[in-house]
Amino acid sequence: MTSQTFADAVPATSTLQIEAISPAVGGIVSGVDLTKPLATETVRALRAGVLEHGALFFRDQDLTREQTADFMARFGTLGTDPFSVAAKHPTKDNAVHNMPTYAQRRATAVWHMDSTLAPEPAALLALRALELPPSGGGDTCWGSMYAAYETLSEPVKAMIDGLSAEHSAYKTLPLLGGSNTGYLQADMRSVHPVVRVHPETGRKALFVNELWTESIVGLSRHESDSLLAMLWAHSRSEEFTMRWRWRVNDIVLWDNRAFQHYAVMDYEGNRVLQKSYVQGDRPRGPFENG
């Protein structure tokens, strides 16, 4: 019998590992240094990981804005919130920006996907923690809209599969109040399918969110409000959601096409996260081709 030392069993280079937080959402990544250029197979493994787990969490990544942008650019074309200041100047540098104001905090303490009032909402998003409140708090939650869809009853799935909904700033503008940057306009709106077929996985995800979705097309106000309230209550379930307690230099990469998020507003003092975007495509429903 050959004996093998422990050192022999450890690979010479660190290997990427992803530990699931729950079956529905979240994976903790280890064995990768994002300050270094990533090998193609590492990017491939991370893309597969983000599609599977929805949100990937990396610890201890002390990245510059440039390095964060370079990392995100490996996954697609960098973009910005269509209504942000940075949208007016979409350079590589300001694709990575901070969102520290109180009013922005209020608007993110609602379950949402980013920028769904745009015709082509962000595909992937990242947040990196620069500064956290001294007294704790300020966690962020993520939830799987695949799981939310899949656990609906068959009659409800059949009913919503062919529906579409209007997304607008009707709720966000009042939340932002005077601190709207001026780029978010009352007439910005898009119609998207209520059930989105994910362009990469082909899985169906519930695609209505409490921040941007205004109404379901073709339903009365009462029908639309009631149906949306039911779908939102269902999608907030503990079974499909998780909560992340930040440390400085954590970065999370997530799939905005099938996962929603919520910023818990339970803290005082500064909390600065740097956000970056990878552009998405037009959401398609179950009955659309190509």
Which residues lie near ligand OGA (CB under 6 A)? 99, 108, 114, 140, 261, 263, 273, 275
Question: Which of 81, 114, 210, 255 forms a contact with Mn ion (CB under 5 A)?
Answer: 114
Q: Which does residue 163 bind out of ligand OGA, Mn ion, none, counting CB within 5 to 8 angstroms by kind?
A: none
Cα separation of 53 and 19, whole Å? Answer: 9
Name the residue with the smallest CB distance to Mn ion.
Answer: 114
Cα separation of 168 and 115, whole Å? Answer: 9
Strand order in the sheet with 259-263: 241-244, 140-144, 259-263
224 or 256: whose CB is closer to Mn ion?
Answer: 256
Cα separation of 210 and 231, whole Å? Answer: 10
Count other C-beta atoms under 10 Å from residue 154's C-beta: 7
147 or 273: whose CB is closer to ligand OGA?
Answer: 273
CB 275, min distance to ligand OGA, A: 5
Helix or strand or coil: residue 140? strand
CB 261, min distance to ligand OGA, A: 5
CB 21, min distance to ligand OGA, A: 16
For residues 170, 176, 182, 184, the Cα torsion angle rounded to the nearest 10 degrees is -30
Name the residue with the smallest CB distance to ligand OGA.
Answer: 263
Q: Which does residue 274 bind out of ligand OGA, Mn ion, none, counting CB within 5 to 8 angstroms by kind?
A: none
Q: Which does residue 273 bind out of ligand OGA, Mn ion, none, counting CB within 5 to 8 angstroms by kind?
A: ligand OGA
Q: Which does residue 275 bind out of Mn ion, ligand OGA, none, counting CB within 5 to 8 angstroms by kind?
A: ligand OGA
Question: Bridge partners of 252?
Answer: 57, 127
Residue 174, token pair as written in the block: 């009042």
108 or 190: whose CB is closer to ligand OGA?
Answer: 108
CB 66, min distance to Mn ion, A: 23
70 or 81: whose CB is closer to Mn ion?
Answer: 81
CB 28, min distance to ligand OGA, A: 17
3-state helix, strand, coil in the chain (%, to 5): 30, 25, 50
CB 81, min distance to ligand OGA, A: 8
CB 280, min distance to ligand OGA, A: 14
Question: Bridge partners of 62?
Answer: none
Q: Which does residue 209 bind out of ligand OGA, Mn ion, none, counting CB within 5 to 8 angstroms by kind?
A: none
CA 172 to chain centre: 17
45 or 124: whose CB is closer to Mn ion?
Answer: 124
102 or 287: whose CB is closer to ligand OGA?
Answer: 102
Residue ranges with strand state E in 21-144? 27-30, 55-58, 78-79, 96-98, 124-131, 140-144
157 or 243: whose CB is closer to Mn ion?
Answer: 243
Cα separation of 263 and 208, whole Å? Answer: 18
- Asked whether the beta carbons of 92 and 78 are under 8 A apart, the reply is yes
Residue 21, token pair as written in the block: 């937080």
Residues that bind Mn ion (CB under 5 A): 114
